Structures are given as C-alpha cells and as structure tokens.
C-alpha cells in the first residue's frame, strides 16, 4: 500500500443520490452528445472521485485517468479515434466505409460516434501505471465513473482504440511509453435518452455449481 | 448482437434502492463472512441481473458467471484457492507461511480469506466465452455485482487465482478449456462493517489535457 499518509477518506457527494438500481438498469451507451453544452469541472471531479472508490488489487491504486477538455486536443484525438475505429472494423470485417456496414448492424451507432468524437465536450482515457496486467483494478473504476455519470445525467460510452494509432495518441498527450492504456470514454450531455437495454436473461448466462447447469430461476 | 429475440428488458428491482453514492463510497473488501447465515437465491439473482446490465462490447455479452452453492464444491474450491493464494505470494515475495508476512501488511486480511474461502456461503466465478480479450466486458459487470451486493448488505471481495491451480479448478466445475477465467468473488453476510476506504486523492490520480498536468481541483 503506497503513499499511506497521503490517502483520504472521501464522503459520498450528495449529487449521487439516484437509487443504485435505477442507475444500473437504465445505463446505456450514449454516443450522441450535445457538443455545445459544457460539463463543469465540479461534476468531472465527482466522476473521478467515484472511480477512485472502486476495488483494486491490494489498494495499490494503479489507475490513472487523463481528462481531455482542450478543444484542439479533442479535435486531434477525435481524428485518431476515427482512424482507430475503422482500422478495427477493417481487421474484423473488411469494412472500409459506412456503406459496408449491414443495415441494422450493432455498429451503426458506433460508426456515428467515430465521426462525432471530435465534438465530445470531454474525453477521459483510462490507464494503469506499473507493468502487470491490471484490468481487474481499472475496469471496476471505469464502471463507477460511468454509473456516476448516469446518476448525474451525463452520457458516456466505454470504447477502445486500435494499435495503429496508439503511438500517436501517446505522443499527443505526452504519455510515457511504459503506461498501459485501457479504454476511452467520451462524456457529454445526451442528445437522446437513457433507458432500458436488452440483455440475455441471466438464466442463460449464469451456471449453478457446475458449468452448463441452470440456476433455480431458469424455470 | 446475438440471440436478439431471446433478450429481455429488465426493470430495476426495488431492493436496489440505496443511493448510488452511498454504495460506491462505502464499498469495501469484506473478507470475513458469516458462514452460518445463508444467502437466498432471490438475492443472488438480483446480483446477477445487476451484473447483466453493465456495458459490454457490441452487446455480444460474453460474460458467464458460475455460482457455487454446493458445500462440498466450495470446500474443495477453498482448498485450491488457499493453494493459489500462497503460490502467488511465493512468486511475488518468496513467502510460504503467515510468519513471513510483515506486521501491518496489506496482505494480512487476504491471508485470512485464503483460510476462510472454504466456509464462504457462496462463491461466484466470472468467465468469458469467445476467444478475444474481454476484460472491458467482464469487470464492469463484476463491479455491478459487487455494488448490488453492497446495496443489499452482502459482503464480497474481488479476488483472483493462480496458474498453478487453474487446471484443477476447471476440472472441479467441468469448465471447458476454451473458456477464459477472470476472477473469483466470495459472497456472504459480513462479520464486520462496510465503511470508508482510503484512497489517493483524485488530484493525484487525474491528469488534465496532458500526462502529469494537474486537474483544477489540485489546488
């Protein structure tokens, strides 16, 4: 446990009053953001404070979050995100253009995000310091950040990049090469609504005592 | 998006009424569990339903959760967990016995969990199907499960295993070899309290526009 003396005990901010079930069950990817309505720093701090409270291995706290507010940096990052998004689709499906995306594809909205990232009011990038695999110490914090955003009415989506652009992203933000990148989260006030998502019933994604054995609620 | 027709829109269960900030800011690792007080299946289902609502890449929903309730299986798993815990400490620090752990170490309580896993009322193991790296689609669900547990008063801790025991764990639960393991979560009613955790101030874990530049609240 590092920096023991400098650690703090944060109280829950009163703004995070939404019932946890409401936040979880209405969380959805918000990719259409109001580019003209800013998010104030106080709200950004609430999201980061919430992220800091998530569990992490041995309380070593390897998570680091880069908040990008500067319009010119977001514009340049947005161009790299667009390139990364299409590089990933090229690798996976051979797509190079929107006309390659099948009608009704789950990628229709993400393709719009690839266009709109340049206009996101805020972009948060999540990293870990140290050299071990730290996904179990980073993504719980990311989910706290997203849920706290939901509770404040701030839209977000958990998204990734592609190796093709990483060197340029690191250079753009002066990120040391030994730092590990995990994900990218645009933030903004939603154009559109939070609301229900569709999921497989947990009777099908939960096993009981042994693999492939159904839970009691499978009926 | 697979199995489109079979997907469901879940409503938030009324039991998840705790303010999200209270749940997040009082979540802590609970390793001392009441071995004699069972958790009913209805509460377990709430935790799994909450997990299912977390974001995941392209709504492909690769997460699978194995809930272990059977006492004999938990006893056998607990022995493997104990072996895994000490194998990890041996690899990292050369420790082989509790007397090797320095006084005041962050590992004092986890060492007790290694002893007590055999008595956990419930153990949940998190996996992904499919062959890609899916941490970004699994750990947000794990955090939902832990937070929902916190809201219900159920104690939990996110913990891992060690390569030395994985083959035996897979055999114990009939897990196909192509399935990827992510983490292990014992669940039970706490012996002890939820409460504040200590974290680095976000002024030190957040950068602003560029790496190492402080956020406005750094003061």
Domains along chain B?
Answer: 23-195 (3.40.109.10)
Put simply, the answer to whether A140 touches B138 (Cβ < 8 Å) is no
The pLDDT value given to residue B19: 98
> Per residue in B143-192, pLDDT tens?
999 999 999 999 999 999 999 999 999 999 999 999 999 999 999 999 98
pLDDT at B195 over 90: no
Distance CA A109, CA A102 (A): 12
User: Which of these, A154, A164, A183, lies nearest to A88 by C-alpha position?
Assistant: A164
The pLDDT value given to residue A5: 63
> Per residue in B53-108, pLDDT tens?
999 998 889 999 999 999 999 999 999 999 999 999 999 999 999 999 999 898 98
Put simply, the answer to whether A54 touches B143 (Cβ < 8 Å) is yes
Most A CBs within 10 A among B126, B140, B178, hence the mutation to make, goes to B140
pLDDT at B1 over 80: no
User: Which of these, B177, B156, B182, lies nearest to B167 by C-alpha position?
Assistant: B177
Which chain A positions have a beta carbon within 8 Å of B70's beta carbon? 209
Phi, psi of B89 (to 5 degrees): -65, -35
pLDDT at B2 over 90: no
Kindly state the average pLDDT of the residues B33-50: 95
Put simply, the answer to whether B21 touches A19 (Cβ < 8 Å) is no
Which residues does B99 contact at the CB level (< 8 Å), separation at least 6? none
Of residues B6, B64, B143, nearest to A207 (C-beta) = B64
**What stretches in chain A show pLDDT beneath 50?**
1-2
The pLDDT value given to residue A155: 96
Put simply, the answer to whether A8 touches B198 (Cβ < 8 Å) is yes
Distance (Å) from the alpha carbon of A114 to chain B's nearest alpha carbon: 14
Instruction: Say whether A67 sits in a helix, a strand or coil.
Output: strand
Q: Which residue of A has its CA nearest to B207?
A: A66
The ipTM, to two decimals, is 0.94
Query: What does pTM read for this prediction?
Result: 0.95
Mean pLDDT (chain B, rounded)? 93
Kindly state the average pLDDT of the residues B209-216: 92
The pLDDT value given to residue A1: 44
| End-to-end CA separation in angstroms for chain A | 46
Put simply, the answer to whether A8 touches B68 (Cβ < 8 Å) is no
pLDDT at B124 over 60: yes
Rg (alpha carbons) of chain A, rounded to whole number:
19
């Amino acid at each position: 446990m590092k920096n023991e003396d400098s650690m703090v005990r944060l109280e829950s901010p009163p703004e995070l009053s939404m019932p946890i079930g409401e936040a979880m069950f209405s969380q959805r990817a918000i990719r259409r953001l109001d580019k003209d309505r800013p998010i104030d720093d106080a709200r950004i701090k609430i999201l980061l404070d919430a992220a800091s409270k998530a569990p992490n291995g041995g309380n070593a706290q390897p998570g680091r979050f880069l908040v990008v507010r500067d319009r010119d940096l977001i514009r340049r990052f947005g161009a790299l995100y667009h390139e990364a998004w299409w590089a990933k689709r090229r690798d996976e499906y051979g797509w190079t253009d929107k006309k390659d995306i099948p009608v009704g594809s789950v990628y229709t909205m993400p393709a719009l995000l690839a266009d709109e990232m340049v206009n996101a009011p805020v972009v948060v990038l999540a990293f870990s310091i140290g050299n071990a695999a730290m996904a179990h110490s980073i993504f719980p914090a990311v989910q706290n950040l997203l849920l706290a955003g939901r509770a404040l009415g701030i839209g977000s989506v958990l998204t990734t990049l592609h190796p093709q652009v990483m060197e340029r992203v690191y250079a753009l933000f002066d990120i040391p090469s030994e730092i590990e990148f995990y994900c990218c989260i645009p933030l903004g006030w939603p154009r559109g609504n939070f609301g229900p998502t569709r999921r497989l019933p947990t009777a099908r994604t939960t096993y009981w005592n042994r693999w492939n054995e159904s839970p009691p609620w499978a009926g």
